[in-house]
Chains A and B, each alone.
Chain A
Amino acid sequence: MDKYSAEKLSTELLGKTIGGWLIEKYINHGKSAVVFLASKDAQRAAFKVFDPEIVDRYGRDAQRKRIERERSLIGKSHPNLVSVYDGGEQRDFLFVVMEYFDGKNLAEVLLDIPPSEFRSLISQIASAAKFLEEASLAHRDIKPENIGISSDMKSAKLLDFGVLRPFDLSNITNEGDQLYFIGTLQYSPPELLFREEEQSIEAWRAITFYQLGAVLHDLLMQKPLFEEFRNPYARLVRAVEKEIPLIDNPEADADLRLLAQNCLAKTPGHRLDTVKWEDFCQPKVADPMEAARRRIAQHRVAALQSSEAPISPGDLLGTQIFTLKTLIFSAVVSTIKTESFPRYSMTEMNKELHQYLLRVLFEPSEKSGLGCYFAVYCQGVVVDPTANFHELRTWACVSSTREAVPAEPESSAPSRTVKGALIEQDIRLHIQGCLLLAYAGALDTAVKGTGAVQWLKLGRDE
C-alpha cells in the first residue's frame, strides 16, 4: 500500500478501539498492512490492520483463513518469534495483534554485529522458522528487515508473519509498489518470483532455506544480497533468476559459507538436497590452520571468478571437472602425506565427462598395524555446471587380498556424500575426514575369509 493510503487509514483508526485494543500510534506500513502501537489492559502490542483494498482485491475469505492461521499461534510461543496475542475482524478491518518489538532490525544494524554472533543469530532465526513449519506455517518473507535484533546483538526475533499472499509481478502497477517490492524480491527465491512454487511442506521449506541463506549471506558478506543489482528493477529480477551470489569473505567460517551458498541455490531441489535444518545449529570447529587454509582457498576462488570471461556451458563443464579432479587428487595426496598413511597405489577413472573416480589402494603394513588391504574411492560429479553444483562421494572397503578389491565401489555399498557449491576447503575437509575414518575402520576391522570384501561405514550419512 502506498503512503497516502496508509495515512488515510491512520487518520481513520488512531484513537479508536478495535477488538478491545486502543490504537495509539502509527509505527509503519508495508505492502498490505499498517502497523500501529496499541494497548489493552496495560499490555502493549503491535496491531496490524490489513489494507481493506487488498483484502477486497484478494477476497475476504482468503484473508480470514490467513488470520485464522496466525491465530493458531496464540498461546504457542517461541523465544525467537514474536508472540501472537489476538486476531479477528471488526467492521471492514481484518487485524492481527502481536508482541511489540521495540528495537532495531537486522537491516539497520547489519554492520554492527560482531562476527562471533553470526552462528548463533542464524540458528535462532532458523529455529523460529522451523517452529513455524511444525505448526504448518511458512513465513515466506524472512529478510533482515523482518528480524529484530536485541541491543546486545546476541538474540534475534523473527517479526511479522510474511506476506499476505505470494506476491505476483503482474500486480506491480506503480512505482510505489515497485519500491516496496524490491526489499522482498531481493530476498525471494526464483520460484516465488515466477510463482512456480508448489504447495507442499518441502516447497515451503525450500523457500525458507533460501531466505535463511540470504540472511546468512548478508551477515557473512556484510552487505545486502544483490545490492549491486537493485537498479533498474529488471536487473534485480534477472539477478534473482540467474546470478549466483559469491560468498567469499575470507573471514567467514567454511561451513557457514557453504551453508549460505547451498541455501541460495536457484533450484529448490538442490537446496533440499544439500541443506538440513540441523545445518543451521552446528557448533563452530576452531582451528587456526583451517582458517588460514580457508582464506587462501577462498582468495583463489575469488581471483578465478573475477578474472573469468563468460564461457559456454560445455567449457564450463570441462573446467569444473578438471578443477574438481585436481582438488580431489591433491586433497587425497596431502592427507596421505600429513597423516602418514601406509604405502598405496592409485587408479583414476573418467567414466563420463562430468564424473571422476579416484581409487586409492593401501597395502598392509606391519609398522602401522594394518593387517589388510583397504581402498578408498572418491568420486566427484559436476551435477550442474552453471550453478557450480557438485557432488563428492566417498566409499571405503577392506580385503585380505589386493585382487579382491574392486575397481569401482559396489552400488549398494555405504558412502558418505557432500553436495553443493563446494570449494577447495569443503573438498579437503570431506576427503580428510573420510580417509581418516576409513583408515581407522580398516585398522579396527578383522578381515574375514580370503578374498572377501567388506565395505566400511564412514560415520553418519547414507
Chain B
Amino acid sequence: MESPYLEMKHITKLFSKVVANNDVSLHLGKGEVLALLGENGAGKSTIMKVLYGLYHADSGSIRINGEEKKIRSPKDAMALGISMIQQHFSLVPANTVTENIIMGNAHGIIDWKKKEQEIQALAEQYQFDIDAKAYVRDLSVGAQQKVEILKALYQQAKILIMDEPTAVLTPQEIDSLMDFVKSFAAAGNSVVFITHKLREVMEVADRIIVMRNGVLMGSLEKDKTDEKELSRLMVGRELVKTKRDEEQQEKEQADCLVLKNITLKAENEIAKLEDVSFSIKEGEIFGLAGVSENGQQELCEVLSGYKSPTSGTIWFQGEDITQSTIEERISMGIGYVPADRHKFGMVMDMSLSENMLLKSSFKPDWYQHYFIDKKKLNAYTASMIERFDVKASGPDDLARSLSGGNQQKVVVAREVDNGETLIIFDQPTRGLDLGAIQNVHETMFGEKRKGKSVLLISTELSEIFDLCDRIAVIYKGRIQGIYQHTELTTEKIGLLMAGYQEKKEALV
C-alpha cells in the first residue's frame, strides 16, 4: 500500500497539568480536506501545533512521503510546505498587506512594486478582494483572514491548517471560505480544518477525525457518517436540543425592566444607542438579535450602570434606576454575563472562589467580623462547581488555569446566583463547546421558570430562535422592531439585522 502524504504516529504531548494528546495517530492524503472535530480542550489545536513546530511532542513521530521528519519550529514546517493559520491572527496591524505577507521571507533590498504586484496577482488568482497596499488595521476580520491565507499561499503551502477559521466570520464570509477550501484541495493540496461546528464539517470535509480529552475517538468518511454519530463521539453522549416550555403562561406578566428612549451619544460622535425602548416581562426571555458591534456592548454598559445614557430612562421593577450606581444595581438583583469575560467578567489571576466573590463583595454574608469567611466561600464555590459541571480541581484553582468554556460556566454560575430578578446574557455561548452551550441554555430556561427575566443578546440566530419569547433586532444602535418568536423567519430577521426596515407592522 502506498504510504499517505502525511503521517503523525503515536503523538503524545503533555503540558504540566494536562495530557493534551495521548497516543494520537493520524494521516492526511493529497487533495484531502480533513476535519479535526472536538470540543474545546479536546486537543485538536495541540496536535496541529505539534505538526507546525510550535509545540514539541513528548513522544511520537511525523512522516512526510514516508520519510521521517523532525519539525522543530514553524520555519521547519514551512520548509516542508506546512502552514497554519492561528485562531488569533498573527498580523501586524500597522503594516500593509504586502509587508505582512513577505515578513520573514524578504532579504536585502526589497522591490516593493514587484512584491505588491505578485501579491495582488496571487489574490486575484483566488478571487480574494484584497488590496495589497492596504493597511491591515483597516481590514475587516474576514479580510484579515484572507491575508493570512495569502501568506500561506505565498509560502507555497501544500498543507494548510486552519484553526477555528469560521469563529469570527459572517455567514457570507464563511461561504466564500468554504469555496476557497474546496478549490484549494481540488488543486491537489491538503487542508486540515479544526472546528467544533458539526455543520461546517459536513459541508467541507472529506474525512473527519473526532477527538475527545486528548484521545482520538474515530476517523470517519463523511459519506458514511452523520451529525448524530459525530456529536456522540465528540461529547460522549447524544445532544438533546433544549426544549422550550410549550405551556406558555398566557396571563399578563408585570414588566421587570423598561427602557424608555435610551440614547447614548458622545459629543461629535454618532450615537451608539438611539432612542432604544423596550420592556422585559417577568419570566420572559427577551432576545436581542443583531450583527455584533451594533450597540449591544453599549446597551449592556448602560444597563449595568457602567455608563450613563445621554438621555432616556431605565425603570426596574417600577423604580427609576437611570442614575443608580453599579453596586446598587447589583444589589437589586441584576446579573450580567458580559461578552468579554476576560475584560469585565473575571480576574484571571485569582482563584475561582475569589471570582465567585467578585459581584457580592459588598454583601455581609461572606464576612465574619470583617474577615472573608473562606470556609463558607469555598463550600459555596465547590457547590457551584458541582452544579454547573465546571471542570476544575477545586475552588482554589486559578481562573486562568481553566478552559474558556469552564471559565464561562463560572461567570454564568455567579451571575445567575446574583441576578435574582434579571440576568443579562451577552453572547453567553460564543466560543463554547456543545456541552457547555447546552448547559447555558438549560440554565436560562431554569431561571425563566423561576420567574426571573432574561435578556439574551446574541448574534447566533439559532440560539435566539430556540430560547426567546420575544425578539428585538438591533441595527446601528436602533431597535428595528420587536416580534413574538413565532412571527419571525430566518430570512426576515436576516434582513432586519442588515438594516432593512419593515413597513410598520412591528409590534411595539
A binds B: no
Residues of A within 8 A of B (CB): none
Binding site for A on B (CB under 8 A): none
